[in-house]
């Protein structure tokens, strides 16, 4: 339950404050279902690198970034937490701008 509380508090502040990775297990598996081949990252360090890259890339193209937690489900039998979230922001450049 502690992970769920921390996720609810920390994720919305993802673009404003440093993210704490100590709550994640060193052998965690992150599944990114946004890409067609369902990318999987193994381990906390891979997850940290992925999030740092994503945060930097998004900041290059968008301002006023916000992360909204839509739903959290915890499966105590598998020891798994599933988080559905949405990122929104204002594009820095629009099509046709020079």
DSSP code, position 18? P
* 7/2 Cα distance (integer angstroms): 9
Q: Domain residue spans in the chain?
A: 2-91
Query: In the prediction, which pLDDT does 96 show?
Result: 59
pLDDT digits (tens, 9 = 90+) for 35-78: 767 788 899 999 899 889 999 999 999 999 999 999 988 888 88
Q: What is the pTM of this model?
A: 0.75
CATH placement of domain 2-91: 3.10.450
Angle at 32 between CA 29 and CA 33, to 5 degrees: 130
Provide the pLDDT for residue 75: 86
Q: What is the pLDDT of residue 89?
A: 95
- Give 83's strand partners: 72
CA 38 to chain centre: 15
């Amino acid at each position: 339950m502690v992970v769920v509380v921390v996720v609810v508090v920390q994720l919305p502040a993802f673009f404003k404050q440093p993210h704490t990775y100590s709550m994640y297990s060193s052998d965690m598996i992150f599944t990114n279902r946004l890409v067609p081949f369902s990318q999987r990252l193994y381990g906390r360090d891979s997850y940290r690198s992925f999030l740092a890259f994503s945060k930097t890339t998004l900041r290059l193209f968008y301002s006023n970034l916000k992360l909204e937690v839509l739903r959290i489900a915890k499966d105590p039998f598998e020891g798994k937490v599933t988080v559905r979230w949405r990122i929104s922001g204002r594009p820095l450049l629009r099509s046709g701008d020079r």
